[in-house]
Amino acid sequence: MQDYVRTLCHEIKATTRQGALPCNTIYFGGGTPSLVPPELVEEILLTVKECFGVRPDAEITLEADPGTFDIVRLQQYMKLGVNRISMGVQSFEEEHLQACGRSHKVADVYQAVQAVQECQVPTWSLDLISGLPGLTREQWRHTLHEAIRMDPNHISVYDLQVEEGTPFSRWYEQGRMSFPQDDEAASMYSEAVQMLTSAGYEHYEISNYAKPGHRSKHNQVYWKGVPYYAFGLGAASYLNGVRFSRPAKMQQYKSWVLEMSDGVVERGDPPQQSREESLTSSAATANANREDALLDTVMLRLRTSDGLDMGAFSRTYSSDAASVVMQAVQKHKEYGLILQLPLLHDVSTDSNCRTASPPDEGRPCALESTNAHLPPSWNFRIRLSDPEGFLLSNSIISDVFAAFSFDNKT
């Protein structure tokens, strides 16, 4: 692990800093960072501070699985500046933890929560998974009830994704286990919305709930399209409108980092080692990046309760593009799945950096612009209704994507 962290820090040092703002959030994720010794986490943080700077009030999150840390280790992380813990609980049902292939037991969850509470971690989050094979409504309610009883500041609820080549996929194909039907999964989602919002959590993104003042700053960077750095095995960054993923295999990643020269630009040099084609400044490439950014903006903003600011969207991509969006969602608006609402007060969004595999970071970058001088026709935002619109988000967003033809003015 020490060798990996040394390589990771070399990558950070070899990356050119873009802009003068220090990091507003740092996120250690992409594996089980709570298995990383505190002294190695410290080495990474010191490298980030040296190369990019870190704001005194930065949100520093570390993903931690139950059973992989205790009070002593947690206190050590907190002394380094970690002020947010994201815990992969998944379920409060023993049989479903086993089905998920999780190494921890329910008893480990309670011990981990106790450690977090005793250490008085400022913000902590629990991750839950719905749609597990054999999961009943009663069991799901029990998991939600226990999560609420633990009183975290933040809860994420993800639907199980069955990917090809995974044990779940093989078991499903062999008929060894059944997954909830679509209507059952929708009912579980709606139940989560009802129980969590009734308990005082704001449903601020399709899968995320927070107590007032405890939205994940780091995740909001993604949803707002703010640039961020990423470092480490398989980590994906977003800078200058370009997404770039590092090699996902250790030897290739180490080779890629070793070939980086000091001051390499984070967009992906050296191109022969990247997982993407060499980036150029051609008009075709710039246009493709802009098209991707437009679709990303629609998809990511509609996943949030704040929604899509049509004024900012029309200024960035054109009034024609905004018209395409509104025409595409008109039928959903008539069914109450899309809401047209007044603009929110302006919110500052300075941002972040991210690293992966054991560790992860983020980066600061942007401010939302004012809507004071918008044409009246675009002086509003749209969002998906909750829970009905959120439940049909994939279909609604797909309709918007299908409405765009980049051969025309948009």
Query: Of 192, 223, 254, which residue is a domain's last?
Result: 223
Is there a single domain that holds both residue 59 and residue 205? yes
CA gap 341, 186 in Å, rounded = 25
For the ranges 15-19, 90-94, 124-128, 350-354, the maximum mean pLDDT occurs at: 124-128
pLDDT in tens, 150-176: 999 999 999 876 666 666 666 666 666
Cα dihedral 105, 111, 115, 117 sign: positive
Whose CA is closest to 405, among 333, 332, 326, 320?
A: 320
What is the Cα–Cα distance from 296 to 79, expressed in whole angstroms?
37
With respect to residue 130, please indicate whether it lies within any of the assigned structural domains: yes
Cβ neighbours of residue 397 under 8 Å, at least 6 residues apart?
298, 299, 302
Is the residue at 90 inside a domain?
A: yes
- Pair (314, 206) in one structural domain: no
- Average pLDDT of the chain, as a whole number: 84
- Decide if pLDDT at 184 tops 80: yes
Would you say residue 205 has pLDDT above 50?
Answer: yes
Indicate the SS3 state at residue 155.
Answer: strand
pLDDT of 166 reads: 61
C-alpha distances (whole Å) from 294 to each of 60, 134, 228 are 29, 39, 17
Does 253 map to a domain?
no
Residues 293-311: what's their mean pLDDT?
96
Structural domain of 385: 307-343+371-404
Same domain, 172 and 80: yes
Count how many domains the chain has: 2
Same domain, 74 and 184: yes
Q: Please identify, among 223, 247, 278, the residue that sits at the C-terminal boundary of a domain.
A: 223
Place of tokens 């609402």: 341
238 domain-assigned: no
